[in-house]
Chains A and B, each alone.
Chain A
Amino acid sequence: MSPSGIKTEKLAGWNRPPVIESDGEGELLEVAMGPHHPSTHGVFRMDVVLDGERVIKLKPVFGYLHRNHEQLGERQSYLASMPYTDRLDYFCSLTNNWAYALAVEKLVGQEVPERAEYLRVILAELTRIQNHASTIGFLLQEMGASGTPLMYAFREREKILDLFESLTGSRMMCNYMRFGGCRVDASPAWLEATRKVVAGLPAFVDEFERFLMTNEILMARCQGIGVLKPDLAVNAGISGPMLRATGVNYDIRKVDHYGIYDRFKFRVPLGDHGDIYDRYMVRMLEMRESILILNQALKDLPAGPVMDPKAKIRNFRPKAGESYGRIEAPKGELGFYLISDGGPNPYRYRVRPPSFINLTVLEDMCLGSNVADVVLIFGSVDIVLGEVDR
């Protein structure tokens, strides 16, 4: 036993010594939260060392949903990987499609027609709204509001999924984008339906905000909990709403100028404290900005083809080289890194998943907090296990 009262043999196998010292009273308790835990979004395990209620060590255990995405991607043609990208982050299949299409377009030097760019923006922003709404719903569910906020979120999500389904043929696994455009064109009726849904979205966000924002329980459980410092966030490679909640102004839509995001007027919401409440608030505000982008994109949508007629979709062999396509996915920077050796399938197919990299600071946010807050902090990171374990 060490002087601080920690039984050292109990911590064998942990890769770092505990950062927070135990108070020396009583025994430490090791708890495995997961892989079947009602709050972990899927199959994820956190091995927590508790001193009373206080977390003094947390070790994430990954791999319960490792589905060999990268290996499969290296064994099949470029096009055949497209449906697999849907299943990475299964909440936002369309943004995954876009990131992969962007990487391949960079590799082969393919241009995208104007109308397809607009459709991509419309679909990506719809995806962002439904993702953020669901995330907030899940966060509230973990706080104990079982079901009700999630029902409001899913009511809106179903409307957006209806749009996806009528355009792409599938509710969740859209498989819509292709190298050099989009698979099918949007009909005028679809655009009309989209305008209708988008017109109803501000009322939904208002309603959601009215119910939640000044809620006493939400404020008590979120403010000042799970604080992430901006310098640590930058050093750890955190991206997305989690980084912006710490106050760092970094949005790939603004920084990287991919697609046609330069043409739209929108602001990047930033947090101040980096706690759970700021993350929640940044997502709320991002939904409003997404609605602004949607309105502009739906107004300016040009006529024309959605697919470059000269684009090669199947059976192409890119020249040897590498490319990295990245977009601002709802969860953060989603990137695909491809190396081609001139063959019909990529030599290396690497996914840079935002959820996985955002999870690496979980321990730093959780140390010293109560075990009940771990669930909330974990929920506020907004992860999807399909993307974490790949």
Chain B
Amino acid sequence: MAVDEKLKIELGKQGVMVTTIQELYNWGRRSSIWPMQFGLACCAIEMIATTMARYDLARFGSEVFRPSPRQADLMIISGTVTKKMAPQVVRLYNQMAEPRYVIAMGACAISGGPFKQGYNVLKGIDRYIPVDVHIPGCPPRPEALIQAFMTLQKKIDEQHLTGEDRPRHLDEQAPGEFNVPEFGEHDLEPPSNPGTWTVPKIIQ
């Protein structure tokens, strides 16, 4: 139930602020997304550059990088996820408290990127955990990361507290833990989480 926009502006001129619980709730969440201090590879340097003086991520309320997953809202997968590292990434994601979000930064995190042919490189972290925003690039520029933050903020803004399209953390049925893959004989077991990722169908 949204407030009539014209009425809202009119009341605003009189010094009265009208809002809904949902708007207030989403505004609070989107304005202070704390990322986890967690770098994987080359993209991590661009992530650090984004927090530094020139690009200044603090303008978006996200300058507080937390080393502990318990205190973080957002995981930036900044770089190549190897098969040795993938279980740790999933475990860290499981340790984060809801609501939590994931940005896959760079070609490697999305699909394996230039190292896709390698035997030790995971072909995209979205095989194991749900990803909210993908940013292409090798590495993406700091502006691209800021754009990802703005996209994520927009996504949070549009979430409904109730109903079918409510976010995962308000859905009691939604999974809270994701399968941590194990080292199998040739590959990670399982090679992907069935509930999270399905093999793309090739249309002939």
A90-B118 contact given A65-B80, A155-B52, A173-B138, CB 8 Å threshold? no
How far does the Cβ of A311 sit from chain B's closest Cβ, in whole Å?
25
Name the distance in Å between B69's Cβ and chain A's nearest Cβ: 8
Instruction: Classify chain A's interface size.
Output: 20 to 34
Option from B42, B119, B120, B141 in Cβ contact (under 8 Å) with A90: B42
Q: Is the CB of A42 within 8 A of B52?
A: no
- Please tell me if B178 contacts chain A, counting CB pairs below 8 Å: no
A343 sits at the interface (CB 8 A): no
Point out the residues of chain B lying under 8 angstroms from A38, CB to CB: 37, 67
Flag if A171 contacts B141 (CB, 8 Å).
yes
- Other 18 A-B pairs with CB < 8 A, given A35-B85, A173-B42: A36-B92, A63-B82, A64-B85, A65-B40, A65-B41, A67-B41, A67-B80, A67-B115, A71-B119, A72-B115, A72-B117, A72-B118, A83-B114, A155-B53, A171-B46, A172-B42, A172-B45, A385-B41
Which of chain B's residues has its CB closest to A93's CB?
Answer: B42
Find residues 8-62 in chain B having any chain A CB closer than 8 Å to their own CB: 37-42, 44-46, 48-49, 52-54
Q: Are B49 and A154 in contact (CB under 8 A)?
A: yes
Query: How far is the CB of A133 from the nearest CB of chain B, in Å?
Result: 12
Residue from the set B38, B44, B82, B117 with the largest chain A CB neighbour count within 10 Å:
B82
* In the assembled complex, B159 has its CB within 8 A of some CB on chain A: no
A87 within 8 A of B: yes
A15 interfacial contact with B, CB 8 Å: no
Distance from A385 Cβ to chain B, minimum over Cβ atoms (Å): 7
Q: How far is the CA of A66 from the CA of B86 in the complex (A)?
A: 12
Check if B118 sits within 8 Å of A67, measured CB to CB. Answer: yes
A36–B38 touching, CB < 8 Å? yes
Complex Cα distance, B48 from A157, in Å, reads 12
Task: Summarize A's interface: helix, strand, loop or mixed.
Answer: loop
Verify B54–A42 contact, CB threshold 8 A: no
Contacts of B115 in A (CB 8 A): 67-68, 72
| Contacts A154-B52, A155-B52, A158-B49 given; does A42 touch B118 at CB 8 Å | no
Bound together, the chains give a CA A66 to CA B48 distance in angstroms of 22
B138 touches A68 (CB 8 A): no
B82 CB, nearest partner CB in chain A, Å: 6
B93 to chain A, nearest CB (A): 11
User: What CA separation (Å) do A83 and B113 show in the bound complex?
Assistant: 13
Nearest-neighbour CB distance to chain A for B78, whole angstroms, equals 10
A interface residues (Cβ-Cβ under 8 A, vs B): 35-38, 41-43, 63-68, 71-72, 75, 83-84, 87, 90-91, 150-151, 154-155, 157-158, 171-173, 385-386
- Known A67-B121, A72-B117, A72-B118; contact A90-B41, beta-carbon cutoff 8 A: yes
Report the minimal beta-carbon distance from A249 to chain B, rounded to whole angstroms: 32
Complex Cα distance A75/B114, Å? 13
Give the residues in chain A near B139, CB-CB below 8 Å: 90, 172-173
- B88 in contact (CB, < 8 A): yes
Closest Cβ neighbor of A89 among chain B residues = B42
Q: Within the assembled complex, what's the spacing in Å between the Cα atoms of A67 and B67?
A: 25
In the complex, A90→B114 CA distance in Å? 14
In angstroms, how far is the closest chain A Cβ from the Cβ of B133? 21
A-B contact pairs, 15 of them (CB 8 A): A35-B88, A36-B38, A36-B88, A42-B39, A42-B40, A66-B120, A67-B41, A71-B119, A72-B118, A87-B114, A90-B42, A90-B139, A150-B52, A154-B53, A172-B46
Q: How far is the CB of A333 from chain B (nearest CB, A)?
A: 22
Task: Please name all residues of chain B whose beta carbon is closer than 8 Å to the beta carbon of A65 when the two chains form the complex.
Answer: 40-41, 79-80, 82, 85
List of B residues within 8 angstroms of A87 by Cβ? 41-42, 114
A35 to B117, CA, bound (A): 24
Query: In the complex where A67-B80, A84-B114 touch, is A90 in contact with B45 (Cβ < 8 A)?
Result: yes
Q: How far is the CA of A35 from the CA of B89 in the complex (A)?
A: 10
Q: In the docked arrangement, what's the CA distance between A87 and B121, Å? A: 14
